[in-house]
Amino acid sequence: MKGDGRGPDDCPDLIGPAHDLPLDGHLHTNLSPDSDVPIDVYAAQAVERQIAEIAITDHVDFEPGAPAFDFLPFAVRERVVREAAERWADRGVAIRFGVEITYAHRDEPEIRDHLARHAYDYVIGSVHTYADSPYHPSRVAAWTAGRSLPDIVAPYFDEVLRAIRSGLFDTIGHLDFVKRYLVPHVSPAQLAAAPELYEPLLRALVETGTALEVNTSGLRQAAGETYPAQPIVERFRVLGGTRVSTGSDAHRADAFTMGLAEGYRVISAAGIGELAFRRGGSRVAVIIPRRFVTPEHPTGAST
Ligand SMILES: [Zn+2]
Ligand SMILES: [Zn+2]
């Protein structure tokens, strides 16, 4: 099936809602300022669709004025998620208390202090774009006009590199999320043709043991592909990377597990047979179902 875009026979719609998967590692609930989904709505869907485990990774921002700056206290978020985990534990879904922290270099001391004092099961670090960003919709056309591709992505990728180098995170969320804002001024194909721009990030992930997330929200946004796309995940593997995660990054009930099967397929196609995860304590591996193992990587599950 190499290159023909087909997926597992029993799951033809890879970019729709997923069924029978071990983990969705990136979800937002009404504990985030940009989501209104009660946690039980995801949990009920997970049971119905045989999604064995979900990581609730609500936003925490450290930049004053950012949406999730002082949005809810840690204790409130922890209580809501842990109580839900107890309610649902015997009903077929394990719920983990994670977080998606917005990384900005200037906030690194505060982030480090927060993580030293608060125990999460699983921590995603992501670079987002603030109102003063060159990628803001009001500015991105002027930013991209007449600039080279390396210069265009530099503010985002440089910050991602610092996030990786900080060593603070289990996983780096949506490595090239900036694609969301660059389209149509820069196409995903232009970025795919410049893998060297990703190389420092991928090497830093390998060196620090930080996992690369394959975020499937890009499939339902203008980029039309995962963050990052499959060739980048393959390059990561070639460079020695083995730690990869995936999540739907749903903010709405109907986005729960959307594209998640494609995320599993992308990872498996890169020759990686397990997801990197943590449930508090030390890191664990979540085995990717055999149906995603492609013929060109017959031993994927033992990679
Ligand atoms: Zn994010
Ligand atoms: Zn997110």
Average pLDDT value for residue range 286-303: 73
Classified as helix, coil or strand, 225 is coil
| Ligand 1: centre distance to CA 4 (Å) | 30
CA distance linking residue 244 with residue 263, whole number of Å: 10
Judged against a pLDDT cut of 50, whether residue 70 lies above it is answered with yes
> Residues 6 or more apart from 144 whose CB is under 8 A from it?
152, 182, 185, 186
Judged against a pLDDT cut of 70, whether residue 9 lies above it is answered with no
Q: At 132, is the pLDDT very low, low, confident or very high (cuts 50, 70, 90)?
A: confident
| Ligand 1: centre distance to CA 148 (Å) | 26
Least Cα distance to 294 among 276, 280, 273, 275 occurs for 273
| Ligand 2: centre distance to CA 142 (Å) | 27
Contact 191, 175 (CB under 8 A): no
What pLDDT was estimated at residue 248? 98
| Ligand 1: centre distance to CA 8 (Å) | 28
What pLDDT was estimated at residue 294? 73
| Ligand 2: centre distance to CA 10 (Å) | 28
Q: At 274, is the pLDDT very low, low, confident or very high (cuts 50, 70, 90)?
A: very high
Q: Across all residues in the chain, what is the average pLDDT? A: 93
What pLDDT was estimated at residue 301? 44
The packing angle between helices 199-208 and 230-238, to 10°, is 50
Exposed/middle/buried for residue 202 (C-beta within 10 Å: 0-12, 13-18, 19+) = buried
Judged against a pLDDT cut of 60, whether residue 139 lies above it is answered with yes
Note the pTM of the prediction, 2 decimals.
0.94
Residue % of the chain over a pLDDT of 90 = 90
> Residues 6 or more apart from 72 whose CB is under 8 A from it?
31, 58
| Ligand 2: centre distance to CA 100 (Å) | 6
| Ligand 1: centre distance to CA 291 (Å) | 29
Q: Phi, psi at residue 74, to the nearest 5°?
A: -50, -45
Judged against a pLDDT cut of 50, whether residue 201 lies above it is answered with yes
Average pLDDT value for residue range 34-61: 98
What pLDDT was estimated at residue 6? 41
Q: At 296, is the pLDDT very low, low, confident or very high (cuts 50, 70, 90)?
A: low
Q: Phi, psi at residue 221, to the nearest 5°?
A: -115, 180
Average pLDDT value for residue range 250-271: 98
Starting from the CA of residue 102, give the closest ligand.
Answer: 1
| Ligand 2: centre distance to CA 192 (Å) | 23
Judged against a pLDDT cut of 80, whether residue 280 lies above it is answered with yes
Starting from the CA of residue 35, give the closest ligand.
Answer: 2
Average pLDDT value for residue range 98-117: 98
